Structure 1
């Protein structure tokens, strides 16, 4: 026994250790995916905001088609709110085919304010390059936060020509929304990109916006999983273009500025490995680089104009990721091992005394849970407490058996699970209710002795109960010769309306066989009418403190009862409401009867006869 327990304990400890590492790895992978998703969403948000503004300016005829100095107030009004609200947009500009240039700059950036020597109250700066007089002349107009012109810096010659910039000629070539960069902005030194497109009113005019990527680089630095982790955005060739390491980022920018791709850092060998991720985007992979294992996740960017087609790469040393989990697992497993060793001795002492008896008691409890009242619970034991418990379980079995004869078993099961039958509580929920009635039952009762009527009713109720139970329903009450059955309470049933209709059809089919037996015995046939309605009802335990009844109340239940009686008016057997049809018309066949007035209701009910089941 000791050897067996030791083997089992050792196996459990090994499985626990393996499971702990697996869970830790799954958590790490989820963190990496979440990090990648957050970065992707941030890129998409920045792209969408900027693209929407550029698209708005470039999609409809407006003042931006006129030369830079014309309709200046209209241009400022169109851009002022967008620039003040979107801090990631460095500036918005328009390049014209003659080399003229209109540029609106947000002065929230201290670098722009210092370079342009802007007044303290200025919120925007308008940079204009005018070529109307031949030589390009540059001037700056300062605008306050309310859109009012403050002052203008005198014109001076400039060598800037927008037609030579990548954002201009790339937009002309691709004839759509394009992104260029990233690059280090000449004026502010910030990392940025440009989103541009041609103006639909004049395909030689290009609208562009500079996007500051500081939030992206900060996000990469701050969200790293471990000290040795790295995150970067790589182009389709696997070359990093935005990096979480500031020094690495500066090297990348220097290489891009010099157009020296070979001078870009190889990112500790990660770039050479990116080609192997072409079929594994979105799934973390474990690879070995320079003798160290890394967990790497590469995710392609498809939902943003910025970096579209590039990939987000997250790489973290495997040993750093798993170090906390390994420590916790080792400590937990050491404690578990000690407890197991101590428990072996106690288990051996007690197992031979009580294990057999407890196993039998457990089987007896399972019998009660499954409503098996036929098998007695016999647990012979020299331990007084176990013997007493066995007797108590037999008494409980007899009590539950008797109780289950008067209450639907599903209600008994719920009471057993909750441990109490005495709570007077009710709650509103969606249910489907059925009411049945035997046509001309009063005449049958007058013609036959009460004993015969009770016998016939008992067999009849067996038939209905089987049809209800077979389709997940519960008979809540027997009301004379009628029954009240309900679906979706007390047990849940997502297809409660469909199952109720199937049950009603099953009742009619079973009653045909029942009535055949009645005819052979010379007894009256039972013609049953059924009403079905779906809706909200208050369901629960209702009654006095010492006498409860599980039932449902409300207009839904009343309508179901009225529908049963309306069968007599329309010569039908199964009447259902429009609410029932709406839930299961894809499976059940209905015939429209029309609108009818139910007794006691002010509004009419749309009536449908349940006629069968649709063939699949």
Structure 2
């Protein structure tokens, strides 16, 4: 005969229905009366704080540049410079070093000579540069002189590295104009009178900006070029409300920065005559910007005061703050947001609060009722089980028996959920499952950008090996292989992204943060290679073919998160750096190596690992050459990693190898060949053989002038 089970819901609601009704009604009435007023007051405070923050950030960007431009002409080398000379270069470079907002510094002399120091990374891709800038260029020292006979201007570009030392130079004739015709030169009115130009396309930078200039006491003009992309990026990070708009403009109606950078500029013309210019508010496509300008131009809006606009019948809260007064139209920061952004959640909260209040009162009252002893113990058990599930402790099955129907059903549902999570965790990274369970957040599409280290592994000649075996045998072989390899990678904090045939994609620093992800990935690669070698011996004993594994490791920024559709998600990393890690794994076939890592990974891993340089390569799909290294082992392995030590003969030859590779990259092939052949040999070394063959070919058939050591690959 089944035992009587009481309904917890029916018992609780019957006993305390009147108390629930009175309590909830009081809460809802008070909330409805005060919620709207609080929402509007909060909205006004939020807008004021956001506008003040934007204004302060704008001041922080512009004020140091104005100050620098005002005092630098009195600096001795510049104050006495009447013709271009080397004495002012250090002062110009120092500006770029201490002012990240400054992209270029120009000195125009009275004879038409122009001296500039520019950030190399800031130059527009479409700008015609001297061919073949040296690798590692960080700054460009440019000197442009006019031809007294009226011919083309003479250009002299000196390329500087991070240490500010020259690494190359080019001389050519160009089409640049006379600096005395530039806006920043013409606007200078005398020493000490700092002027800010109108916004225009900055020469060589290929994007709009402004120039802050000052006349030199001895003649000529000093100018600092700045762009405002950083301010637009800052605006994009501010979240005042779901539909808030943040922008910066000057009193002439020019939109300088917008949280959506594409709305702050417009493209004029086509082809070679196309140019980008900043947008005027009266011509903006956004109706909010036009409505704002109309109200501002009519003095309906004033800086430092809260105001409202009406747009399509919807009230808009607006706050405007002054940024800085300069020699030109003053700059102002604006934050605008629909009033509904703040009041709608309150009204929605009233509706939801009614149900939340019912639940909260029910739980609170149930604790002091006669039924507390009947539900206390099983609920405590369920609570402990829920905490265990949060920790992803899913091994022990849940057994719960209660006379209360809801508790019994909840126990059954939790047991089923525990079993389902155990199965789910077999397909999804454990750290990801633990994160979803502990936070209670729903998995949704999207991800975040973060630095990652990605590893790809592949089995050499697996397709040929698999064709010689029955499918069942292939399944047993790959299962044993993946079990051993995956266990090793997981022990080294890897997240297994996916299995691709015989390949494995693993990543570090997601979803769990791992500060030393590059070093962890390198250590995992060495240990996984050791596991692979042990498996080769074991497989031979079983009568299986040996599976020789190759590894590729790269470190860089990628977007990691959930992709797919609303009913089927996959946690993975997306970005060019992922493809590059795969390309590195494939390059092992060309060099005969086992583990290839990128320069970014080697730098991030630190000095605990021994590597040797392999090549400068341009893999398929890559835009820039990268340096790759062969990961050999640990510099000082712990006792448990003694097998990861590097042979003494190889360790002794690392400096000689690096020197020989440097000779090769410098084009001194004979010295490189002699250096490699002088190194001690320790068995077969495919990479050494590759270099010997390459160098002998280059010596027999020297390359043309302008040869580059970068090797391009068109295959994956």
TM-score bracket for the superposition, by shorter chain length: 0.3 to 0.5
Q: TM-score, normalised by structure 2?
A: 0.41
| Larger CA Rg, structure 1 vs 2 | 1
Q: TM-score, normalised by structure 1?
A: 0.47
